[in-house]
Chains A and B, each alone.
Chain A
Amino acid sequence: MTLAISMAEPRSRIAARGRWRWPETVFWLALAACYVIFPGHLQLLAQVMIAGLFALSLDLLLGFCGIASMGHAAFFGIGAYAAARLALAGWSEPLTGLVFAGAVAGLCGFACSFLIGRLRSIALLMVTMAIGLLLHEAANRLTWLTGGDDGLSGYDVAPVLGLFRFDLYGRTAFLYCLGVGFLVFLALRRFVHSPFGLGLEALRENERRVPALGIAVQRQVAVVFTLSAVVAGIAGGLLAQVTQSVALEVLSFERSAGVLIMLVLGGAGHLYGALIGAAVFIVARDVLSGLDPVYWYFWLGLILAAVVLIGRGGLLGLARRLPGRFR
């Protein structure tokens, strides 16, 4: 009997978790192919990418850490306003604008993480909701900064990389969002498959045992919350640049609820679930509110109830269960 534990095995297991698989290539190629297949819906597809990025940021919190937020639109909105303010101040280069949006949102996320780290379950949901509403109310009042109810508009966004001008059909918008989305996705994918990411999943599964493993929970929460806020800020910044306007709606409770729905719809904790959920949600919203904008809320509620009562684990969970059922 030997007590020596080989370090090779855990290393190879961590590496195996993060290995790139062929369906992922297919997924991203299919997304890129949308540029050719749906040339008339590129604006909508850009919205899908933005929502997908936003849902990814929440997935980092909820799917990997088990921290549910009901006010995540706060960071999305901060990013959007930051990008718009920067453009209004005369700095119209888009990529640095995104970095700025992410940095501002990240700072706010870092500040909030100290409040979040102490709270769990319902109190956490309520405080995140209160933070979201607080910001919405603040943005509504601080008209000199946010334009209040009218929002911010009338700023120019320079061509991406100095080459690609934003056009009316959303060609540049879609490719820009796809490119930024893909890069952020790669970074997040690397992050969640790292040993630190594994520690996050431990936090989700059993919070009391995590300190026993020698992991500092408070630090983990701060890192993840900040990172999540950065990604949400980038998504918000993208929206501000692509639509060249920011409305108060970016901070609304509906947006916070919407991103939760996307994530739960797609399946939390897989990264891809966030993207798929966002795609389904945005397309469904487009179709259903096209039928009758007033009753979109009804469908929204029905989708939510259906996901909770029938579709545990979202669409990805469903896809995983199906083969087992027919075996």
Chain B
Amino acid sequence: MIAELAELGFNGLAYGIVLFFMACGLSITMGLMGFANLAHGATAMLGGYVLVVAMRDLGLPFLASLPAAFAVAAIAGALFEMTICRRLHAAGELDQVLLTIGVVFMAIASATFGFGAGQQAIVMPGYLTGRVAFGPIEVSAYRLFLLALGAAITIGLVTALERSRLGVRIRAAVDNRAMTTACGIDVGRLFTVVFALGSGLGGLGGALSVNLVGLDPSFPLKYLVFIMIVVTVGGFGSMTGTLVAALLLGLADVACKYFLPEAGAFAIFAVTAVVLYWRPQGLFGRLA
């Protein structure tokens, strides 16, 4: 029983980490510019397909394909921001939501065109396929890898946000955009950089999720909901909030599927609605 519960918790945390990767870029861009980018799931899907192509068609090893997924997604994100998003910064949320939903639909059609509607299969390297035992508790090696990578990247991100010059600027801009601009910081360019980094992390999350939840063209819509829930519940622009919300959602999802399989995703949506009714600004967000 204990071992089972421990494994459930472990799986939930691993799923949560992937959700965190996919959501943290979106959270910062929303906190920074209030830009509602529903196409973030499409960026994650792009990362997933880059990983598939790199491993299956180019024969690259798994660990070398991950940075490739990050890079391609980051470049795509930067291009998207510079050509299209920029024109909608001043527009209302509805215009942003509609445009990015349009991008999602186009991405789904393009992925179907390029790769077919089926699930993509990849062959994982041997050291990530087995199971690792800690005494009575046995967990999958891939999830252990996810947790370790997740912890490393989260620590890296938090340190970068706290210590680096870029991080200081981002935090300043999230807190008070007008004042930051008055200090001579080009918030527009900062936003492009953040958008690219966020897209890259999203792509990395997508690439890591291929072996966990699978990859098919409906990915952006299927996970959009979970990403948005994490971001809204966590509170825009709050890294801690996003992490906590992602881990909670991951745990809740795995627990629901195990204990209440007949309820499906119902319980999660219900909890989200209740949390947002109670705190419209999210768990860690501040009132605008």
CB of A260 within 8 Å of the partner chain: yes
Q: Name the A residues within 8 Å of B112 (CB-CB).
A: 294-295, 297
CB of B106 within 8 Å of the partner chain: yes
Contact with B along A229-264 (1 / 0, CB 8 A): 000000000000000000000000100010011001
CB of A210 within 8 Å of the partner chain: no
Q: Name the B residues within 8 Å of A125 (CB-CB).
A: 36, 93-94, 97
CB of A308 within 8 Å of the partner chain: yes
Contacts A253-B221, A300-B105 given; indicate if A131 touches B273 (C-beta within 8 A): yes
Contact with A along B248-267 (1 / 0, CB 8 A): 00000000000000111110
Contacts A68-B94, A115-B273, A130-B229 given; indicate if A302 touches B266 (C-beta within 8 A): no
Instruction: State the CA gap A303–B151 with chains docked (Å).
Output: 42
* Tally of chain B residues near chain A (CB < 8 A): 45
CB of A304 within 8 Å of the partner chain: yes
Q: Name the B residues within 8 Å of A140 (CB-CB).
A: 264
A301 contacts B98, C-beta separation under 8 Å:
no
Contact with A along B70-112 (1 / 0, CB 8 A): 0000000000000010011001011101110111111111101
Instruction: State the CA gap A300–B105 with chains docked (Å).
Output: 7
Q: How many A-B contacts are there with CB distance less than 8 Å?
A: 118
CB of B121 within 8 Å of the partner chain: no
Most chain A Cβ neighbours within 10 Å, of B117, B221, B272: B272
B262 contacts A294, C-beta separation under 8 Å:
no
Most chain B Cβ neighbours within 10 Å, of A260, A301, A304: A301
CB of B179 within 8 Å of the partner chain: no
CB of A70 within 8 Å of the partner chain: yes
A122 contacts B229, C-beta separation under 8 Å:
no
Q: Which of A115, A260, A294, A305 contacts B103 (CB 8 A)?
A: A305
Interface range on chain A (Cβ under 8 Å from partner)? 35 or more
CB of A141 within 8 Å of the partner chain: yes
B269 contacts A133, C-beta separation under 8 Å:
yes
Q: Name the B residues within 8 Å of A183 (CB-CB).
A: none
CB of A121 within 8 Å of the partner chain: yes
A297 contacts B108, C-beta separation under 8 Å:
yes
Q: Which residue of B lies closest to A306 (CB)?
A: B102
A141 contacts B102, C-beta separation under 8 Å:
no
B226 to chain A, nearest CB (A): 10
CB of B30 within 8 Å of the partner chain: yes
CB of A318 within 8 Å of the partner chain: no
Contact with A along B266-288 (1 / 0, CB 8 A): 10011011001100110000000
A309 contacts B87, C-beta separation under 8 Å:
yes
Instruction: State the CA gap A304–B39 with chains docked (Å).
Output: 13
A126 contacts B102, C-beta separation under 8 Å:
no
Q: Name the B residues within 8 Å of A103 (CB-CB).
A: none
B217 to chain A, nearest CB (A): 9
Q: Name the B residues within 8 Å of A253 (CB-CB).
A: 221
CB of B238 within 8 Å of the partner chain: no
A123 contacts B276, C-beta separation under 8 Å:
yes
Q: Name the A residues within 8 Å of B88 (CB-CB).
A: 308
B97 contacts A307, C-beta separation under 8 Å:
no
Instruction: State the CA gap A219–B251 with chains docked (Å).
Output: 39
Instruction: State the CA gap A304–B109 with chains docked (Å).
Output: 14
B98 contacts A260, C-beta separation under 8 Å:
yes
B113 contacts A295, C-beta separation under 8 Å:
yes
CB of B13 within 8 Å of the partner chain: no
A296 to chain B, nearest CB (A): 8
B106 contacts A297, C-beta separation under 8 Å:
yes
CB of B22 within 8 Å of the partner chain: no
Instruction: State the CA gap A131–B150 with chains docked (Å).
Output: 31
Q: Name the A residues within 8 Å of B269 (CB-CB).
A: 130-131, 133-134, 137
B105 contacts A123, C-beta separation under 8 Å:
no
Instruction: State the CA gap A305–B95 with chains docked (Å).
Output: 9
B30 to chain A, nearest CB (A): 7
Instruction: State the CA gap A250–B243 with chains docked (Å).
Output: 35
Q: Name the A residues within 8 Å of B155 (CB-CB).
A: none
Q: Which of A121, A295, A301, A309 contacts B104 (CB 8 A)?
A: A301
CB of A129 within 8 Å of the partner chain: yes
Contact with A along B172-207 (1 / 0, CB 8 A): 000000000000000000000000000000000000
B280 contacts A118, C-beta separation under 8 Å:
yes
B225 contacts A305, C-beta separation under 8 Å:
no
B236 to chain A, nearest CB (A): 8
B277 contacts A305, C-beta separation under 8 Å:
no
Instruction: State the CA gap A118–B273 with chains docked (Å).
Output: 12
Contacts A122-B232, A298-B109 given; indicate if A304 touches B101 (C-beta within 8 A): yes
A74 to chain B, nearest CB (A): 12
A129 contacts B225, C-beta separation under 8 Å:
yes
CB of A15 within 8 Å of the partner chain: no
A interface residues with partner B (beta carbon < 8 Å): 62, 68, 70, 115, 118-123, 125-127, 129-131, 133-134, 137-138, 140-141, 253, 257, 260-261, 264, 294-298, 300-305, 307-309
B interface residues with partner A (beta carbon < 8 Å): 30, 34, 36, 84, 87-88, 91, 93-95, 97-99, 101-110, 112-113, 117, 221, 225, 228-229, 232, 236, 262-266, 269-270, 272-273, 276-277, 280-281
Q: What would 4 more interface pairs be, CB under 8 Å, given A120-B280, A137-B264, A307-B98?
A: A70-B97, A141-B264, A141-B266, A295-B109
Sample 8 A-B pairs with CB under 8 A, ordered by A number.
Answer: A119-B280, A122-B30, A131-B273, A134-B270, A137-B264, A294-B113, A301-B103, A304-B98
